[in-house]
Amino acid sequence: MERGFYTIMAAQFFSSLADNALLVLAIALLIDLHAPAYLTPMLKFVFVLFYVILAPFVGAFADSMPKGRVMFVSNTIKIIGCALLFIAMHQYFALAAYAVVGLGAAAYSPAKYGILTELLPPEKLVIANGWIEGLTVASIVLGTVLGGVLITPAVADILLGFDFPFINTGIDNALESGILLIAIIYAIAALFNLYIPNTGVDHRIPKRNILFLIHEFAHCVRLLWKDKLGQISLAVTTLFWGAGATLQFIVLKWAEMALNYPLNQAAQLQGVVAVGIAVGAVLAARWISLRQSVTVIPLGVVMGIVVIAMILVKDLWIAIILLMLIGGLAGFFVVPMNALLQHRGHILMGAGHSIAVQNFNENLSILIMLSLYAMLILLEVHIYAVIVIFGMFVSVMMTLIRKWHLMNQSIEDSLHLIGARKIH
């Protein structure tokens, strides 16, 4: 791998670590502010809102300057969001502050993935994605655990015990000390961003007109959905991220119901799923080539069925094994599909534009699925019924996507397009 790849990995690790720890603290803040239960999934909703709203523009932004600089600006925005969350005194102000962190994340994502296609050849994309996703998931594990640890009274007392001579920090509770620590982690990620190499790609954008960018983005969306491989990989990743975001909150609610776990312990079970994803991602990187990527689609059907088994679990160790299995299946099928989508997007359009289209579809899926989940919670549907509905939905949709791919192949073989290089 190029040396710059490892700098990208370090920057991504710290930024993702802070993202996931901050979500746990934001949930704890809503609980502290006595917010109703249906507002908890709305945290993720507002976080991804800017991914959808700014989708026509963030791709052009990511392609307009070196990717390292884009990521530095994005992490700076996340630090501003932390500052706003620090002073939040009302549940809706807390949601708005968390949305600012989402704004930084929306700008960050096209650069994070786009630089891989600029830095590496197509044959290394699955391996690179495996390592990036594996490291991201490691940061999810550590981030959710860190978030849970930061709100435990014992650790909070230690953090609050630190004092600076002649300086009144104004920090007097666990949430404030935790948010400050997370802002420091974002600053570390921003520091690594400054050392990401310039790949030498031309970063001039043809036009800055807003209407042109919207028209160009709509064209890119159509282009990717019309491509026989692009549409399948985009459908899979769109479903995966919508389902994954919803599963985060399902696990929290299920752990509370089935295992009587409080938030700080339930958050650690989210980390168990993430460990499984990391293992699946690394195995996929080792065993699945870019040309074989579409063969993993049936694992998505299996994952949906396995999720339903959660309603039978009452024992912690069985729960850990089951959540690891769910994560492993998810990681093994999404990494090759993500690499295929990046490859086809890079061939059809600029890397930043491609990732922006991917983010738009995936985060629109998150908005829809989290809205439906929040509605079920508002209607007080039992969490076991929610799990069954969720698992069946994932399995049915993955079955339909597989049939769609087989129908495409029966008309014309598109697998020869895998591994093609972009013609400049």
Rounded to an integer, what distance in angstroms lies between the CA atom of residue 16 and that of residue 278? 14
Q: DSSP of 325-386, one letter per residue?
A: HHHHHHHHHHHHHHHHHHHHHHHHS-HHHHHHHHHHHHHHHHHHHHHHHHHHHHTT--HHHH
CA dihedral sign of residues 327, 330, 335, 336: positive
**Cβ-proximal residues to 161 (8 Å cutoff; 6+ apart), any chain:** none
What pLDDT score was predicted for residue 164? 59
Burial 291-317 (b: 16+ CB within 10 A, else e): eebbebbebbbbbbebbbebbebeeee
The predicted model gives 11-16 an average pLDDT of: 90
Of 398 and 340, the one with more pLDDT: 398
The predicted model gives 201-228 an average pLDDT of: 79
What pLDDT score was predicted for residue 208? 65
Position 160 pLDDT exceeds 60: yes
Token readout for 30 is: 């809503």
Looking at the whole model, is its pTM more than 0.85?
no
Position 424 pLDDT exceeds 50: no
Residue pLDDT, tens place only, 45-64: 999 898 888 888 877 777 77
Of 40 and 345, the one with more pLDDT: 40
Position 412 pLDDT exceeds 90: no
Of 66 and 368, the one with more pLDDT: 368
What pLDDT score was predicted for residue 364? 92
What structural domains does the chain harbor?
3-192+212-417 (1.20.1250.20)
The predicted model gives 327-331 an average pLDDT of: 90
Helix 316-348 to helix 351-378 angle, to the nearest 10 degrees? 140
What pLDDT score was predicted for residue 190? 93
Mean of all residue pLDDT scores within the chain: 84
What pLDDT score was predicted for residue 401? 94
Token readout for 115 is: 């630089």
Q: What is the dihedral of CA 365, 370, 375, 376, to 10 degrees?
A: 100
Helix 125-150 to helix 91-119 angle, to the nearest 10 degrees? 160
Q: Quote the DSSP letter at residue 167.
A: B
In single-letter form, the type of residue at position 74 comes to S
Residue pLDDT, tens place only, 88-109: 889 999 999 999 999 998 888 7
What pLDDT score was predicted for residue 381? 93
Report phi then psi at 63, rounded to 5: -85, -5
Position 320 pLDDT exceeds 90: yes
The predicted model gives 186-215 an average pLDDT of: 78
